[in-house]
Structure 1
Amino acid sequence: MTETVSQTHPLVTLSLITTPLSEQEINLALGIQFSSADFSLAQGNVKFGLTGSTLQLQLQEARFTEFSEQINHQLPIEKSPTVDAPSWKIALPAGIDILKTNALENIELGKIATSSENWSIEATLTVEKSDLQITEIEGLWRHDIHPNQQAILHRKIALFLRETQLSSPLISLKVNSPSTSENTPQPSEKQISSLLKTIEQIKTFNNDHFLELCEIAALNPKLDFAGANLRGTTLRGLDLNGVNWSRVNLRGADLTDIDLSEANLQGAKLSGADLSGAYLSNANFKNTDFHRSSLALANLSGANLQGANLQEANLSQTNLNHCQLEGAKFD
């Protein structure tokens, strides 16, 4: 007899569907629906959603014998499961809005062999810093503030929401075992007051220097911007050696003479960005989008450019010595 267990969060509804195939074999399927959510803040409103998440299964007295590829045709899967680590990393490409889907039902995950009557499956859905995105903010500041200030404000609020409203794991389901549900956490008045104070400090700060704004917002420039929206920002000449900015959106940003050596920008969007004279040696740009960007005089020696899109990019006097270029797209 088919059994379905479900749990709902304002951002996502998750279901697991088990169907017996024999006494010791079951078919496991997934139901999922992603949505956007709203958060009222002072006199304003914040709209947000997920750009990714990780689905992980823990099996007791059971093991996968076969994985289905069906989920890869329904969701943007960045990392697929193994028998020892049955987890799926869902991740939209950088620069795309958020995950919003109609209800996806009966997505086959695979077949599972059970070794006793006491088998169980626990599914958790977790959200990392890079998986949460602000889509719209109304009533909290003027729309003509500098892109650097806006980017910092969006990131500060996104991480505030992850810390105060998104439990870890976001969802936890159990099949063939007692399951508990948790209420969505809410921020305290003290936390909201502190956030509003920080927003006011950033809005009224007398310059738009990115690292100084990070300091005001108590954001770590090396670790807090993976998956962030930094479109159109001005970061020229900054030392950002070794940052983890995977899946960051830097479309149209001014990155002239920046130091991103040893940095991780895998899957980032850099289309239309100006990286003239940038120091990018030994950086990870796997599957990064450089379409119509300028890399004139940039030093990319030793960088990983596997699968990168370099179509229509300005590569005048660019140093590409010892780069990994497998699958990279040029004109």
Structure 2
Amino acid sequence: MQLLESHNQCPDCVLMELNVIPEENTNNKFGVYLNLKFGQQQEKILEGKVNFSLRSSQLILGLNNIKLVEKCQINTDLVSIVDSVFSAQPTWKINPIKEQKLLQENLSNLKLAVIEIEDSSSELTAQIVAKKASIFLSDIEGLWLHDITPNKHAILERKLAEFIENNYFKPYISQAIFQSQDNVNPSNLSHENKDEVLTIESNILKKMIQFIYRSQKDNFMELAEIAGLNPLTDFAGGDLTGVNLSGLNLSSSNFSYSNLRGADLTDTDFSEANLKYTKLSGADLSGAYLEGTNLENANLQSASLALANVIGANLSYANLTNTNLQNTSLGKTNVKEAIFASNLGLDDEKKQELIKEGAIFN
């Protein structure tokens, strides 16, 4: 097969090179090999600069008149096979960020699959795609003043992530196209000139920043409505440091991978919500409703769960060092390998009960 195109929209963020190499002793079978480099992309947006990287993305293979013979075993934490009934195309998940830190490891000649060419019109398309929740904004300069409130910052940070998703990550981040030797058709390739669209989108973003900054409102739900954001779905992966969500109904919401460090979450309803890998260190969840909530791998160090309802929640692998557990309802809670230490409100009987259920006490 012959490479027809290799296009990377954000090469400093993700640089993909795909190789399709004939298998030994075959005429129509090929190995698909992946090379990837990760890093931070810096873009000038409006009058400022933004550095961003990706927590995760997906590599999807489009196979036209090509048979997938096998998906190869992979021995790296950076890439994993996605086996899902909802994925009609061969898909791999890429995870270059662990615990908010970009891994320095790159991938070289990772064999993903073996494919078989079925006829002379065969075409293979590989795309890396990602959504807003996977965008990690590591540095934002010059877009708004530092005296902005935590609630307004959280709203604008996700609007900026949305802007990056729409203008830098669509329809893909990286793409490679291969065709059979006698089917090469360069005329099929075209890329839109995005300059005009980017100018329009930049003006919209600028007006939104100015409007939110000048607004007399600071209620999270009201600001989210103004910005056209859904509080239940649009803040996964967001920076919500120090926000005030006290008393809000966020049942069944998705705040996974978000940063809620030092947030006021008193009496907040997070029942059945997804708070997986969320940073909640120093947050006040006193009286919060967390029944059935997924808090797997969450960081709850020095947080308060006093009077909170955590019945049936998943706290597996969570860090609860110095967490206030006074009058906390912990019945039927999954605490497998959850870390406890120096917790107010835990008597010896409850401590032994948690240990039996898989908790770790330091």
- Paired position in structure 1 for 2:348: none
- Aligned counterpart for 2:242 among listed residues 209, 229, 232: 232
Cα 1:113–1:155 change in 2 (3 A) is same
Name the CA distance, whole Å, in 1 between partners of 2:315 and 2:208.
38
TM-superposed CA distance for 1:221, in Å, is 0.7
Name the CA distance, whole Å, in 2 between partners of 1:176 and 1:309.
50
- Paired position in structure 2 for 1:54: 58
Contact 1:166 1:185 in 2 (8 A): no
Residue 127 of structure 2 aligns to a residue whose secondary structure is strand
Corresponding position: 1:107 with 2:117: no
> Which stretch shows the higher mean deviation, 186-195 or 13-22?
186-195
Residue identity matched to 1:141: W
Contact 1:300 1:323 in 2 (8 A): yes
> Structure 1: 5+ residue runs without aligned partners?
none
Deviations 1:40-68 (A, max 9, x none): 34433333332221111233432242423
CA RMSD after TM alignment? 2.9
Q: What's the % identity of the aligned pairs?
A: 37
Contact 1:33 1:103 in 2 (8 A): yes
Contact 2:127 2:175 in 1 (8 A): yes
TM-superposed CA distance for 1:92, in Å, is 5.5
Name the CA distance, whole Å, in 2 between partners of 1:43 and 1:274.
36
TM-superposed CA distance for 1:110, in Å, is 3.8
- Aligned counterpart for 1:249 among listed residues 250, 259, 274: 259
Contact 1:265 1:288 in 2 (8 A): yes
Contact 2:43 2:49 in 1 (8 A): yes
Name the CA distance, whole Å, in 2 between partners of 1:193 and 1:117.
47
Residue identity matched to 2:8: T
Residue 139 of structure 2 aligns to a residue whose secondary structure is strand
- Aligned counterpart for 2:91 among listed residues 82, 87, 94: 87
Residue identity matched to 1:274: D
Name the CA distance, whole Å, in 2 between partners of 1:66 and 1:93.
24
TM-superposed CA distance for 1:193, in Å, is 2.3
Residue 150 of structure 1 aligns to a residue whose secondary structure is helix
Cα 1:103–1:266 change in 2 (3 A) is closer
> Structure 2: 5+ residue runs without aligned partners?
341-360
Name the CA distance, whole Å, in 1 between partners of 2:229 and 2:299.
25
- Paired position in structure 2 for 1:271: 281
Deviations 1:113-136 (A, max 9, x none): 555666543211111121223222
- Paired position in structure 1 for 2:23: 21
Cα 1:194–1:58 change in 2 (3 A) is closer
TM-superposed CA distance for 1:278, in Å, is 0.7
TM-score for both structures, normalised by structure 1: 0.85
Corresponding position: 1:182 with 2:191: yes
1:29-178 correspondence runs (5 A): 29-59=33-63, 60-70=65-75, 72-73=76-77, 75=78, 77=79, 80-82=81-83, 86-91=90-95, 96=100, 99=102, 104-113=107-116, 119-177=122-180, 178=184
